[in-house]
Structure 1
Amino acid sequence: MKRERAASATASLGAWVSELDVTGVPAAVLDRLALVLLDVVGVTALGASLPEQRALADAWTAPPGPAPLIGGGRLVTTDAAAWLNGVALVSLELDEGHKYAKGHPAAHGFPAVLALAAELDSTGADTAAALLAAYEVAARFGRATTLRPGAHPHGSWGVPGAAAGCARLLGLPPGAAAAAIDTAAGMGIAGHFDSATQGNPVRNAWLGASATSGLAVARMAVAGMARTTGTAALSLGTVLGEFEPEELTADLGTRWDITRGYFKRHASCSFTHPAADAVLDLRAHPAFRIDGITHVLVETHVLGAGLSDVDWSNRLSAMFSTPFVVATAALTGEVGPDSPLDDPDVQALASRVRLVEAADLTTRLPAERAARVTVAFDDGTSLTREVPNPIGDADHHPLTESDLIGVLGKWLPGPVVDRAAALGRDLPGLPRVGAALRELAGTDEKELS
């Protein structure tokens, strides 16, 4: 039965998490972890600067505690930091993701691990191992899960990653770590993708829920209240979609999914990025003329074919609108956190963008998330550009540390970015991480403005 197979695979995964030691991790993997941590910290700080995120933090009225609101200027309780940082991290659609996991492994687990590590004042080595555990377990659950059509990946298959990272930080033995992971598989949220396209911020809250659920089930395991029963086969594999347990342990210890992810340079859904990249390439062509565009055809794969709305109501819905992203890229050369939503020129051009699925691009999934863009002009000419993956994908123009610093530095003060980069580089060797993590809250008004 699939439930027994899920229980067996989860037990093996729990043993791997419990015994994970960064001294045995390849240097290239730790280098990638440093980049992911730089991205997570920087993007969270950027999200924390949004007026609505500041208002949310104020409304939370969390008492003082040991964990930072990254970029938020306060230290609060562990659970409040995990929830609020999780929401901030995904609020601008700039967080790292993974095409094979079909979502965002780091966003599901890193906020919980960082908050708990600050509370425990864990060693850098343990924190690095916990972050790796969170990423790898979440990515494997993402690979194993095929959600039902219409389901959004936030807050579902990634919760076991948050549990795994917290279990590793707490030093749980194999059986207890597995029980935490198994229990977390029953804590997923059934979120609909249309919540994102319609601009409902509940979509961001699903990541806050993932973080606090990971903390909760790890504590349940400490108390002996968690069991390994193959829960994922029921929740992920029956209620929310389909589940293949063998994916949890495939190439375990030799394949590091953290090295296969992507970083973002556009503040928008990853499905829109190849189209934005193609438009930016065309924009540099001598024959490209903004005032002569009659229409734009965007061909994409089945996963991105639904992002066709031209009536965005807020930033979240705009970030899930390929017409908005394409028009903004064509007119301004950038899709950023501060790209205007009510520019009449953007709205006019977006109305002339048509998004369709191309069967040949769908067949190239999951290795490629391609797009083909054709811009037609009033003189009867046209320009076409096809890209196989967004820039920043591990398989297509991957971003280096200097690239990431450059992207984040466009929108964040230098000291914030430098602090995030230093933490990523230094983490495995830090004797204790509490002080370094609490510095991420920021206290300089210039950094937080």
Structure 2
Amino acid sequence: MSDRREETQAIDPDQRAALAAARTLSEWAADLTWETVPDEVRDRLRLVLLDTLGVTMLGARLPERAGLVDAWTPGVGSVPLIGTGVRTSPEVAAWLNATALVSLEMDEGNKFAGGHPAAHGFPAVLALAAAIDADGPSTAAALLVAYEVGARYGRASAAAADLHPHGNWGFTGAAAGCAKLLSLDADQITGAVDAASGMPIAGPFSAALDGNPVRNEWMGACNVSGLAAARLAKAGMAIPTGIAAHSLGRLLGTFSPDVLVERLDKRWDIGLGYFKRHASCAFTHPTADATLELRSQLGEGGVGAITGIRVSTYSAAANLHRTRWNNRLAAMFSIPYVVATALRDGRVAPDGFDASNSAEFQALADRVEVVADAVFDDRLPDARGAAVEVTLADGRVLREEAANPIGDSARQPFDHERTVALLGDLLGDGDTVDRIVDVASSLPEAPGVRALLQTLTHP
């Protein structure tokens, strides 16, 4: 690699700051070993892995996925496309497993990062690990690096208005995790992370609202690009220049490199994430939780007695106010859909979309008014809340407020038992859940992870 002094003299101060922080973070990543990770962080990694694998299996079972897999004409390889019966190359697996993972809006997320660090990097790391048959401790360390680096880049990136978080800052986590798994040194990891931070997608949030599935593909691109960035670094061709200052900053918003190294090795962001029990955008979850509480208070008249529903929430969530949707993806980004589904079904499950276009359902959704309330904006990012008011025909007004959604690290965080129960309910197949639990629990100690991961090839 060329002389660092020559490199930094040729770039502007913002780039130098971005590069210096990336190097410090990469040195931390290079030094991390699974054996020295605190026990509670190890347990959390297993839990996030359990959720990730289970939700990927769930997404793989969607009826449209068979056609997508066929369209890719995946070649024969050693890496499982989870739940499909196909083994293929790491690139195809990284892309398609990532898109399956995010297709039902049930993947783990992190409100401080502003997105989904596990989905941004786990599919790439797991695909590479299966391809090279990495050992368990190395794979677990790489997964943790992917999460922590990605989450820190998410914290450091303040997105421009209307930018969707899929496919931009998360490239860095995928690159760091893959570089770690390839046993690259700190300078090479820096090169991989820097290269990845120059690959972001400027995806408009409107894609999700409109039900455009390209929004899911951004996550596939993220994982494959991270793998490509790591390979570029391994080849000695990555020339770090602090490009995040111009890409994640300036072009896509603002970037604060000092955030990358805040409380490094003291704060583990993986422990601050949230799990989802609703098949909908995380912005809708406090509303869903409050609505489910109100449902039990409706009395004999039930849903039919409702004359009006008012949802107050933070501004970003209030943008999800559409009362019409053309597919499941668009519905999952509609608060009126989520409220109507919760009232009708007592849950917001993946199959709730199937009957959502009936006249009765639409009439209920049309009664939902969504407004922004600065009170909830002021509590961000520590609390992502909402209040729901239901007006009944007899004049009563029922109100419920949720400061944070259930499953958040700040409110009824999921443990192993609750996550297994949720996956069992969603997948409806105890044998499959047992396989997923076995992989998530056994992987960090496995002498080689390929055979273990291959047990998830079939539905």
Task: Please report the TM-score for the alignment, with normalisation by the length of structure 2.
Answer: 0.95
d(CA) in 2 for partners of 1:34 and 1:67?
Answer: 20
Deviation, structure 1 residue 217: 0.6
Deviation, structure 1 residue 54: 1.5
**Cross-structure match for 1:372:** 387
Q: Which of 66, 84, 87 is the equivalent residue of 2:99? A: 87
**Cross-structure match for 1:346:** 361
Q: Deviations over 1:72-130 (max 9, x none)?
A: 11101110000000100000000000000000000000000000000010010000000
Q: Which of 424, 428, 434 is the equivalent residue of 1:409? A: 424
Q: Deviations over 1:172-230 (max 9, x none)?
A: 01100110001000011000000000000000000000010011010100111102211
Q: Which of 394, 399, 424 is the equivalent residue of 1:384? A: 399
RMSD (Å), alpha carbons: 0.9
d(CA) in 2 for partners of 1:71 and 1:98?
Answer: 26
**Cross-structure match for 2:443:** 427
Deviation, structure 1 residue 37: 0.4
Structure 1: 4+ residue segments shifted above 6 A: none
1:235 aligns with 2:247: yes
Secondary structure of 1:303's counterpart equals helix
Q: Which runs of 5+ in 1 are unaligned?
A: 443-447
Deviation, structure 1 residue 403: 0.8
d(CA) in 1 for partners of 2:84 and 2:232?
Answer: 29
Q: Indicate if the aligned counterparts of 1:37 and 1:420 stay in contact, CA closer than 8 A.
A: no
Q: Indicate if the aligned counterparts of 2:94 and 2:127 stay in contact, CA closer than 8 A.
A: yes
Deviation, structure 1 residue 419: 1.6
**Cross-structure match for 2:322:** 309
Deviation, structure 1 residue 286: 5.6
Identity %: 52
d(CA) in 1 for partners of 2:433 and 2:255?
Answer: 39
d(CA) in 2 for partners of 1:343 and 1:122?
Answer: 50
Number of positions where the alignment pairs a residue of Structure 1 with one of Structure 2: 443
Q: Indicate if the aligned counterparts of 2:443 and 2:452 stay in contact, CA closer than 8 A.
A: no
Secondary structure of 2:265's counterpart equals coil
1:120 aligns with 2:120: no
d(CA) in 1 for partners of 2:174 and 2:384?
Answer: 27
1:294 aligns with 2:310: no
**Structure 1 residues 351-366: aligned runs within 5 Å:** 351-366=366-381
**Cross-structure match for 2:334:** 321
Deviation, structure 1 residue 53: 1.4
Q: Which runs of 5+ in 2 are unaligned?
A: 1-12
Q: Indicate if the aligned counterparts of 2:163 and 2:203 stay in contact, CA closer than 8 A.
A: yes
Q: Indicate if the aligned counterparts of 1:116 and 1:166 stay in contact, CA closer than 8 A.
A: yes
**Cross-structure match for 1:331:** 344
**Cross-structure match for 1:445:** none
d(CA) in 2 for partners of 1:346 and 1:186?
Answer: 45
Q: Deviations over 1:351-374 (max 9, x none)?
A: 000000011111000000000000
Moved more, 24-33 or 342-351: 342-351
Secondary structure of 2:202's counterpart equals coil
1:276 aligns with 2:288: yes
d(CA) in 2 for partners of 1:418 and 1:345?
Answer: 39
d(CA) in 2 for partners of 1:96 and 1:172?
Answer: 28
d(CA) in 1 for partners of 2:112 and 2:383?
Answer: 10
d(CA) in 2 for partners of 1:204 and 1:154?
Answer: 8
Q: Deviations over 1:207-258 (max 9, x none)?
A: 0000100110101001111022111111000110000001111111110000
**Cross-structure match for 1:265:** 277
Secondary structure of 2:78's counterpart equals strand
Deviation, structure 1 residue 425: 1.7
**Cross-structure match for 2:415:** 400
Q: Deviations over 1:30-61 (max 9, x none)?
A: 11111100111000011011111111001100
**Cross-structure match for 1:30:** 42
d(CA) in 2 for partners of 1:368 and 1:345?
Answer: 34
Deviation, structure 1 residue 302: 1.2
Deviation, structure 1 residue 344: 2.8
Deviation, structure 1 residue 408: 1.2
d(CA) in 2 for partners of 1:423 and 1:351?
Answer: 44
**Structure 1 residues 1-16: aligned runs within 5 Å:** 1-16=13-28
**Cross-structure match for 1:157:** 169
